[in-house]
Structure 1
Amino acid sequence: MKKILKLFGLLLTLTMISSTTALASENNYRVSNLIGVEQSEFEQMIAEIQSIKTAHPEYTEEIILEIMDEQHQGRERGIADIWNALTDSEKKLCIRYPFDALKVNTAKNIATSQTEAKFGSNGLGDRSDAFRHGIWNAEMAVLIGKEKAEMFATAHEDKDVTGNESDGYPKVAHKDMDLHNNEVGRTIGEKNSGASEDEMADIIYQNIYSGETQFIWLHE
């Protein structure tokens, strides 16, 4: 495996520019105003995955996952920081659907920026948390379809739920809340697929403050 990693180190150096260009042309979708450094690094991470898949189409997801894990083991900055923050389920989906993963990350950036704009911060377990998950899933439903949006959103919640979160509430309660709000958001996104980012944010914001909202949160 170490010999393979050395070969891929050289391969990735030679192909990163062309791979990133190919990803940019393939990934033609609505772009958020908030992209920033993390989006660029995420694109580089996907380019690494795509380079491995192109060079060795016979490799399984498990082999590519092992290569990527070893490539970024023990590192804490840049691409490694993003890769290591993903759940194993998310990593496998990034390998299986690399171009969709880029759109998922764009939807995440939209959700983060719109939550900041509407609430002033991105909270945990509160109404802003419900809003963030709602608009993230709504935008994913628009960008990659409801079915794949559910796959990525559920993979994101594939974490250890032992103990409590920093707000004092059980992690399992947070997971249940997030999974529920994800589904509500995807339904809204599917019904309002022609809405702009700002329009979608307004729709979800108004919904979450209505008396008949299906969104849930643990505390104010």
Structure 2
Amino acid sequence: MKKKEIVIGVSVLISASLPISVYAASNESMSSRDFIIDETNEFEDIVKQILDVKSKHPEWSEQQISDFMDQIHAIKKDGVIDIWNALTSSEKKLVIRYPFDALKVNKAKEIATKQTERKFGKNGLGDRSDAFRHGIWNAEMTVLIGSEKAELFATAHEDKDTTGNESDGYTKDEHKKMDLHNNEIGRKLGADNLSAPEEKMAEIIYDEIMREDSLFVWLHE
């Protein structure tokens, strides 16, 4: 068994040098609205590894693939947890099941982080900027992969231990409820504005956030 894992590991490393377009060519979920992926993106490397393992072992279950990915990402780089290990167990399953959609989810996350910084000058926790970030992330996911899959990925992201408090003093459970609510509002706004480019979508979400009777919620200013 160990010998097989070593062979697979080598092939994964070799495949990491291939452009993602090699894998994407026959994937039906890729469309004209797809984004350009940074070749140095660590998340892209994760997807390449998964695609390589799935190609060589189509008989493996999602759990087997997840276990193998856990093995090859078990070693921390300079004590830092990599992207794969930062995912929840539910997120890992979705990345394995829908690898190309996962790339779009990651792109939506990058858009959300960037636009939140532009609008608020920070990416806060439990405040309006947090609500905005979740809102635009889900709106952009809805544009890229549809509302149904966007909900799957967003909910999987919140599948975490909710015992204890976050650094702002509010409970993790309060944060989870806030995030799930704002995720839903973001998807609704995204579905209502599917043709909106990134900057326009950011304005739509921001305007709703700043309304006195906003549909979004936050725990503190």
Tell me which residue corresponds to 1:165: 166
- Tell me the distance in 2 between the aligned counterparts of 1:22 and 1:187: 34
Secondary structure in structure 2 of the residue aligned to 1:18: coil
Structure 1 position 106 matched with structure 2 position 99: no
Unmatched runs of 5 consecutive residues or more in structure 2: none
Q: TM-score, normalised by structure 1?
A: 0.92
Tell me which residue corresponds to 1:93: 94
Tell me which residue corresponds to 2:157: 156
- Tell me the distance in 2 between the aligned counterparts of 1:108 and 1:98: 15
By how many angstroms is 1:30 displaced? 4.3
- Tell me the distance in 2 between the aligned counterparts of 1:208 and 1:15: 43
Structure 1 position 14 matched with structure 2 position 14: yes
Structure 1 position 191 matched with structure 2 position 195: no
- The CA RMSD over aligned residues, in Å, is 2.1
Q: Identity of aligned pairs, percent?
A: 58
Unmatched runs of 5 consecutive residues or more in structure 1: none
How many residue pairs were aligned?
Answer: 217
Tell me which residue corresponds to 1:31: 35
Deviations 1:87-145 (A, max 9, x none): 00000000000000000000000000000000000000000000000000000000000
Q: Which has the higher helix share?
A: 1
Tell me which residue corresponds to 2:43: 42
Deviations 1:125-174 (A, max 9, x none): 00000000000000000000000000000000000011000000000000
By how many angstroms is 1:75 displaced? 1.6
Kept in 1: contact 2:88–2:157 (CA 8 A): yes
Kept in 1: contact 2:24–2:100 (CA 8 A): no
By how many angstroms is 1:211 displaced? 2.3
Structure-2 change in CA distance of 1:103 and 1:77 (3 Å): farther
Q: TM-score, normalised by structure 2?
A: 0.92
Secondary structure in structure 1 of the residue aligned to 2:164: coil
Kept in 2: contact 1:89–1:158 (CA 8 A): yes
Kept in 2: contact 1:19–1:50 (CA 8 A): no
- Tell me the distance in 2 between the aligned counterparts of 1:160 and 1:12: 31
